[in-house]
Each structure stands twice: as C-alpha cells, then as structure tokens.
Amino acid sequence: MLSITEYLTEEHRECDGLYAEVEKLIREGKWEEGERAFEEFKNETLKHFEREEAVLFPEFEGRTGIVMGPTQVMRMEHAQARELIERMERALKNRNREEFLSIGDTFMILIQQHNLKEEQILYPMCDQHLDVSEMIQKMESV
C-alpha cells in the first residue's frame, strides 16, 4: 500500500509530465495538439486540487484541529495556480506563444514550490494522522 505522500507525489509528477508535453508542443508551434494536451493537463491538475480540497484537507483539519496552517496556505496557492491555468488557456486560444510560455514559467515556479511544501510537510503529517487506505479510496472517488 502506498502512503499518502507517495500517492499524491506521483500525481504531482504526472501533472508535471503533462505540462512538459504541452510546453514542448507549443514551442514547436503544434497548436491543436498543444490544446488537446493542455486540456488533459488542466483536467488532471484540477482533479488533483479537488481531491486535496474535498477529501484530504478537511479530513486532516478534522483529525488534527489544525485549520489555519498548511491547508490554508495550500488552498491559497491552488487559487493562484487556477488563475494562472486560466491565463495560460487564454494565451493558448489566442495563439500567443510568448505569453503562454511566460505564464507557464510562473505557474511552474509556483507549483514546484507548492509541491515541495506538500511533499515535505503536509503529506507526511497526513500519513501520521490519517488512515492511508481510507484516504486513497476517498480521493480516487473524486
């Protein structure tokens, strides 16, 4: 059985890989393929956020009583990431490669810092306080 840390870290890696493919396609000027790849990246990233916000964070807060700590910061960063995804999507629709890549760079800096905090701080705390198999089962139903 995977830990919560391993399970969600793997989702981070998958989303990173999906974004890398989008960036490659856009750099090559393959707009239609890039749009399809972006949809998959966006859907998987938003699903990951939803799993955390709908299942993991409330369970962690309920079990530990910690509501003004790491989960609050993660929600704020998810909101920033969602806004950047929307801006990337607009740049993609407008076929503005430079704008897309610039926003994408900002997104990647934010998400890499965000993921490190989750992987090194929040997820290990979740592994300590939550039932791993129950959490993974609940998250997979989202």
Residues 113-125 have pLDDT tens digits of 999 999 999 999 9
Residue 9 has what pLDDT?
97
Residue 97 has what pLDDT?
97
Per-residue pLDDT, averaged over 124-132, amounts to: 95
Secondary structure of 51-120 as H, E, C letters: HHHHHHHHHHHHHHCCCCCHHHHHHHHHHHHHHHHHHHHHHHHCCCHHHHHHHHHHHHHHHHHHHHHHHH
Q: Which fold has domain 4-140?
A: Four Helix Bundle (Hemerythrin (Met), subunit A) (1.20.120)
Residues 18-71 have pLDDT tens digits of 999 999 999 999 999 999 999 999 999 999 999 999 999 999 999 999 998 999
User: Given the structure tokens 């000027």, which residue do they identify?
Assistant: 29
Residue 1 has what pLDDT?
79
Residue 39 has what pLDDT?
98
Give dist(CA 67, CA 56) in Å, integer: 12
Per-residue pLDDT, averaged over 1-13, amounts to: 95
What does the mean pLDDT of the chain come to? 97
Residue 35 has what pLDDT?
97
User: What residue segments make up the domains of the chain, in order of their start?
Assistant: 4-140
Residue 25 has what pLDDT?
98
Residues 77-111 have pLDDT tens digits of 999 999 999 999 999 999 999 999 999 999 999 99
Per-residue pLDDT, averaged over 122-133, amounts to: 95
Would you say the pTM of this structure is higher than 0.85? yes
Return the exposure string of 70-108: e unless at least 16 CB atoms fall within 10 Å of the residue's CB, then b: bbeebeebbeebeebbebbbebbeeeebeebeebbeebe
